[in-house]
Amino acid sequence: MSENGRKGNPEVQPKAERRRFSVEYKRRIVAEAEQCQHGELGSLLRREGITYAQIGKWRTAHAEGTLGKKRGPVANPNRAEMRRLKAENARLKRQLERAELIIEAQKKLARLLEEEQS
């Protein structure tokens, strides 16, 4: 018995796993669906165990030519180069700020020297 006084179930419950369909399977089903006469599509969907919404998405993707394409953002092959350039840009900006401060100080010093000479 478990802590709460109930018997535990010794059977392991199977974990539901999401079905994954290959691109070839999707193309075959879309082609079969296109060949279906009026009323035959339902039997195809029941036989394959898929929904009308799934085949609708597959049809749309097939028409757009994106049925076999991977989803998500495209990896940037120049990522390391971008990081290096950003770091260099930040370094150059800091260097420019220092140079501008030095120039400003030199201008003030030159004005002070001119005032003393006059």
The count of other CB atoms within 10 Å of the CB of residue 26 is 20
Between 4 and 107, residue with greater pLDDT? 107
Q: Which residues contact 33 (CB under 8 A, 6 or more apart)?
A: 41, 44, 55, 59
Please state the rounded mean pLDDT for residues 85-108.
97
- 8-62 pLDDT, tens per residue? 667 777 787 888 899 999 999 999 999 998 889 999 999 999 999 999 999 999 9
DSSP state of 72: S
62, 27 Cβ separation under 8 angstroms: yes
Q: What is the pLDDT of residue 6?
A: 61
Q: What is the pLDDT of residue 1?
A: 47
